[in-house]
Structure 1
Amino acid sequence: MTSPARLVVVCGRSAASVGELVGGLKPLGDLVFLLDTSPYNDPLRALLAKVGTVLDVAPTAAATAELLRPLRPDGIVTFSESLLPLTASLAAALELPFHSPDSVALLTDKHEQRRRLRERGADTVRTHLLTSSSEWPAAVREVGLPAVLKPVRSEGSRNTHAVSEDAEGKALVHDLLDSGRERALVLEEFLIGRGSGAYAGYVSVESLASRGVVTHLAVTGKYPMMAPFRETGQFWPSALNPAEEREVLDLASRAVDALGVRTGLLHTEIILTADGPHIIEVNGRLGGLVNDLAVRAAGVSLVRLAGRVALGEHVVPEPVKPREVFYQFTHLAPLERVRFVKADGHGVIRRLPGVDTHRPLVQAGDWLDGGTAWTMLDLLTGRAASHGEMSALIDRALDTVEFTFGTQGGDIETLSGRACSPWAAPS
């Protein structure tokens, strides 16, 4: 009798929920959960121990590989951006399929990724690396203003700023670098998306690489961002016309090829400008909340597809073609630090036609830190017959819910759902 396959899942703050990990991967074989030291894993340890073996990462990648070697794993996978380098090192040491260490270096370093894309002719966006505030004048000369300033390594738009004034940018660089909050920053050419009021001027492409064959599973449409770069939701299929979609997919293919990715999931963000699409960034992992869209729209678990590829199976799935529009929308907390008091109207939202679920994501008394990394207050999911019907439903939801916050000064403020969205009513 053949023993079940053994799959190592490297766990930290993840684009896949615990339910998605267990539901998607458990049918593939025995699971070994390798936990990093982040607090995210603390409440999950007991649950994961019920469905697999739980191990902690060792102080070094080499020591962690030796910890895993006696288990003779057949595959390794992660859905965590910060754990891509460790997972790539472990895969190389154990001779298992995954992104190569060289590819992961390009996928996780925004400056090196841009440089490779330019060298291979995949994209032309101007950038400059900064490691101290003294380099700011040279960066502005090369890139120009307005521009986008972001950490070389980050996720969730942490410390990402749009910069239009020289003095503003210089102060930000001083604050982030000279204080030690970030080790290196990238100044990037500011690209203007050509979105409409209902949809953002950017999309993402969800792809799977298997033995060098790259399948683009879907193009994900986006709602407009809130300042500075905070995402508010997404939907399948996108609202692009066929010609626009072909341009986007062609660019995604060139980018993946330039970065040398041959194995695993990819989430490529692309901005749509007047002179054509450009890469925002290529991520070597599952996109946030994208697995939910795939399961609801097509009955396909991207987590499971990634697990199958990790175990050595050659997987070439068909692109997803939903017959309805499936969406996810979230209200966002204010940029300033506030205490969440309550939300009203959840029951009404859940009864709206086209709403599948409406889930609160914060609890009364929670302090929400604000800042450039967004805090989701809730998650609204559902389906509609068309993009227009979806937009009308979101519009109704915006006027149905209210959120009450306490400020650090002790004041109480109630905001409509619309005020916590990109479509705030004019004052």
Structure 2
Amino acid sequence: MPKRLLVLHAASPLGPEEAERLVKALDVQIAFVVLMPQVTGGRAELDRLAALGPVLEVTDPRELVPAALSFAATHQVDGVLASSELLLAAGAAVAEALGLPHHPVSAMPALLRKDVQRERLRAAGVPTPAWAIVRGPDDIPAALSAVPLPAVLKPVRGMGSIATFDISTPEVLERCVEEGRRVCSETLPTSGEEPVFQLEEYLGGDQSHPADPRLDDMFSVECLLFEGEIHHVVVGAKPPQAPPFRDAGHIVPSALPQDLRDAVVDMAEQAIRAVGAYHGAVLVQVKLTASGPRVIEVNGRNGFALPLVLLPHGYDYLTDIARVALGEQPQLPGRFSGYSMVQRRYAPLEAEEVTAVRGVAAAAQLPGVQYLVPLLDVGQRPDPLRPSKSVAYLLGARAGDLASLLDLADRVADRVVFEYRTVGAPPAG
């Protein structure tokens, strides 16, 4: 009898197309518990999921675990997969109740809260930057005493660089705490909660990527854990972040020399052990510094764009994640041939409204461009504090060598023109 995978589903890289692919590749049955407020594709998406297997719709995150366990009481379930970080804790709870492998419930606080994560890293002897908790204005003096400026302010629970700020002075910190509290009180995963922030010493900027100065000093170490054993999927390089610390995508492979790659991987493994991850995908973000690699963050999921950037190399990452969730060893990618990229280009921070878009069709015809998707249109208003709503376009590209890939991304940027009305400028007409 085929195995059955129970997917807790929300907006994520695992959409209907990816689910169709993994069902075919693994010859499995599949069922979905769908958090309806987080479904972006509407009824059409749900219909495609329903063609693959049962779909249970819930409207409240608190209903996820009871709905999943109710289904499992009358149906075979061989693996549990949370498709989004929003559902990771629920996935762990369901898997634990069913005796199925997953990242444990005990690891969830460290995987979902940056402050708990920092404490566990420090307790395990993993080098960490100075940091302090900021709940409101009263915490600012103590935080500034503990953390040197410049620093980074971020929510202890957050995704996609939401409400992340570059802090240069005490005055900027005061203003950003106020702005961040407003945004986080309205935005998942912390909407409705009292926002908590972490002020963290800025790392990096003193050790550039050795292969090309156009690359960032940050790396994504993607791993699949199988019953505690760490399997490395890829170390990916990154295009430069957009201000102020907005993730700009992924490039694989990393183009790091072997000794430095080994040091990055070793630091990531230390962090994985420290937070208690056990079974499933893990993403560790590692920064190069003059003192060596340093862990920025550990996530109990895959990097959002990594499945896209790995597909041109013949590796279906999401299917391999499902394979592991079903208790089967990962297959992992083979040797990489050439380089591939997924890049996000953001509207500038001062952009208030898109007034014109030109050059997309012509740039999409450049050799090596696999897709070029505009995500903002005329009349839309970017939101600098919610980076996912400020991406002007998404570029997928491939080339035989790293320099050619980066040259191609530069040529696309030169040809694609987004014009904006900026903050304080009068509306057109």
CA positional deviation for 1:384: 1.2
Q: 2:391 matched to 1:390? A: no
CA positional deviation for 1:364: 4.4
Query: Following superposition, which runs of at least 4 residues in structure 1 exceed 6 angstroms of deviation?
Result: none
Give the TM-score taking structure 2 as reference length.
Answer: 0.89
Which position in structure 2 is the counterpart of 1:250?
A: 266
Equivalent residue pairs, number:
409
Which position in structure 2 is the counterpart of 1:189?
A: 201
Partners of 2:294 and 2:124 in 1: how far apart?
14
Work out whether residues 65 and 91 of structure 2, in 8 Å CA contact, stay in contact via their aligned partners in 1: no
Q: 1:348 aligns with which of 358, 362, 368?
A: 362
Which position in structure 2 is the counterpart of 1:18?
A: 16
Which position in structure 1 is the counterpart of 2:36?
A: 37
Report which stretch shifted further, 11-20 or 69-78: 11-20
Q: 1:144 aligns with which of 148, 163, 188?
A: 148
Which position in structure 2 is the counterpart of 1:418?
A: none
Partners of 1:158 and 1:67 in 2: how far apart?
34
CA positional deviation for 1:284: 0.6
| Structure-2 change in CA distance of 1:260 and 1:180 (3 Å) | closer
CA positional deviation for 1:347: 2.3
Work out whether residues 129 and 187 of structure 1, in 8 Å CA contact, stay in contact via their aligned partners in 2: yes
Percent of aligned pairs with the same amino acid = 32
2:201 partner amino acid: E
2:90 partner amino acid: L
Partners of 2:36 and 2:76 in 1: how far apart?
23
Q: 2:298 matched to 1:304? A: no
Which position in structure 1 is the counterpart of 2:190?
A: none
| Structure-2 change in CA distance of 1:354 and 1:177 (3 Å) | closer
Partners of 2:36 and 2:332 in 1: how far apart?
37
Which position in structure 2 is the counterpart of 1:402?
A: 417
CA positional deviation for 1:342: 4.4
| Structure-2 change in CA distance of 1:65 and 1:352 (3 Å) | closer
Give the alignment of 1:53-132 within 5 angstroms: 53-57=54-58, 59-60=62-63, 62-69=65-72, 70-132=74-136
Partners of 1:122 and 1:320 in 2: how far apart?
30
| Structure-2 change in CA distance of 1:90 and 1:164 (3 Å) | same
CA positional deviation for 1:165: 0.5
CA positional deviation for 1:324: 0.4
Partners of 2:275 and 2:360 in 1: how far apart?
44
| Structure-2 change in CA distance of 1:131 and 1:25 (3 Å) | farther
CA positional deviation for 1:42: 5.5
Partners of 1:166 and 1:231 in 2: how far apart?
25
Partners of 2:120 and 2:233 in 1: how far apart?
24
| Structure-2 change in CA distance of 1:345 and 1:152 (3 Å) | same
Q: Residue deviations 1:297-343, cap 9 Å, x none?
A: 2x11111111111111133x455431201112232123346444542
CA positional deviation for 1:126: 1.8
CA positional deviation for 1:173: 2.3
Q: Residue deviations 1:352-402, cap 9 Å, x none?
A: 122222222344444433335242222222211211111221221121111
| Structure-2 change in CA distance of 1:177 and 1:389 (3 Å) | closer
Work out whether residues 35 and 64 of structure 2, in 8 Å CA contact, stay in contact via their aligned partners in 1: no
Q: Residue deviations 1:153-198, cap 9 Å, x none?
A: 0000001111110122123224444897352111111112323641
Work out whether residues 64 and 90 of structure 1, in 8 Å CA contact, stay in contact via their aligned partners in 2: no
Work out whether residues 335 and 372 of structure 1, in 8 Å CA contact, stay in contact via their aligned partners in 2: no
Structure 2: 5+ residue runs without aligned partners? 186-193
| Structure-2 change in CA distance of 1:405 and 1:313 (3 Å) | same
Partners of 2:354 and 2:236 in 1: how far apart?
31
RMSD, matched Cα: 2.3
Partners of 2:184 and 2:229 in 1: how far apart?
41
Work out whether residues 228 and 372 of structure 1, in 8 Å CA contact, stay in contact via their aligned partners in 2: no
Report which stretch shifted further, 320-329 or 55-64: 55-64
Which position in structure 2 is the counterpart of 1:7?
A: 5
CA positional deviation for 1:252: 0.7
1:107 partner amino acid: L
1:11 partner amino acid: H
Report which stretch shifted further, 322-331 or 266-275: 322-331
Give the alignment of 1:173-252 within 5 angstroms: 173-177=177-181, 181=185, 182-193=194-205, 194-195=207-208, 197-252=213-268
Work out whether residues 160 and 372 of structure 1, in 8 Å CA contact, stay in contact via their aligned partners in 2: no
Partners of 1:146 and 1:92 in 2: how far apart?
42
Partners of 2:169 and 2:378 in 1: how far apart?
39
CA positional deviation for 1:215: 0.9
Which position in structure 2 is the counterpart of 1:281?
A: 297
Partners of 2:82 and 2:412 in 1: how far apart?
35
Q: For residue 38 of structure 1, give the secondary structure of its aligned residue in structure 2.
A: helix
Structure 1: 5+ residue runs without aligned partners? 414-427
